[in-house]
């Protein structure tokens, strides 16, 4: 499943052919589809695999002990570093799916929304923890702040596709966090 996930992640749904999937997974076309169903079902399973791995890692990072602002910064900086580490970067699979397929397929939209709402919930908890610790003012709704940070995060992930200036990207992170 990880091999299929990586194929879709790198190339996108439309550009990933059956041959790409068989080459990556080592399965023949009939075995591939007997095992996973059609291309769409395989794509949905790939998004679920991403949820289990990458989305899970993000929520763990946000829940670690320490100041909430440090957790938010570490989460955003990690995304920058991952995206800049590979010149052929695939970016964020969820963001790619959001742009390419979520508006065309309700099941894909639902799967993408699951990722986004999971991260939003983790952000809301992180912000609330920061408010209890006095890092952030108590006057703002943690859900609204979480959505603001989430929006900046996905915008940042898009910017890494065109900016390779790490400091410029860190300026986005710091500006976002200073606004909290």
**Which residues, including other chains, have CB under 8 Å from residue 105's CB and lie 6 or more apart?**
40
List, for residues 93-126, the tens digit of each pLDDT value: 999 999 999 999 999 999 999 999 999 999 999 9
Reduced to 3 states, what is the DSSP secondary structure of residue 143?
Answer: helix
- Token pair, residue 73, equals 């910064």
Alpha helices in 16-141 (DSSP H): 18-25, 29-36, 39-50, 56-63, 68-85, 93-100, 106-132
pTM of the model: 0.90
pLDDT along the chain (180 residues), means of 10: 86 90 84 84 93 93 96 96 81 91 94 96 97 93 96 93 91 94
Query: Which CATH entry fits the domain spanning 50-178: 1.10.357.10, 3.40.1280.10, 3.20.20.140, 1.10.3720.10?
Result: 1.10.357.10
CA angle 145, 112, 149 (to 5 degrees): 15
């Amino acid at each position: 499943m990880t091999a299929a996930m990586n194929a879709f992640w790198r190339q996108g749904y439309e550009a990933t052919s059956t041959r790409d999937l068989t080459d990556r997974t080592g399965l023949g076309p009939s075995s591939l589809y007997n095992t996973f169903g059609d291309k769409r079902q395989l794509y949905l399973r790939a998004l679920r695999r991403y949820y289990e791995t990458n989305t899970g890692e993000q929520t763990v990072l946000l829940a670690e002990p320490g100041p909430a602002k440090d957790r938010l910064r570490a989460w955003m900086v990690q995304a920058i570093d991952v995206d800049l580490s590979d010149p052929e970067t695939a970016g964020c699979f969820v963001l790619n799916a959001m742009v390419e397929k979520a508006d065309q397929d309700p099941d894909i939209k639902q799967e993408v929304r699951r990722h986004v709402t999971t991260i939003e919930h983790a952000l809301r908890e992180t912000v609330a923890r920061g408010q209890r610790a006095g890092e952030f003012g108590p006057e703002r709704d943690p859900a609204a702040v979480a959505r603001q940070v989430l929006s900046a995060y996905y915008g940042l992930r898009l910017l890494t596709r065109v900016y390779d200036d790490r400091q410029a990207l860190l300026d986005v992170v710091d500006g976002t966090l200073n606004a909290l």
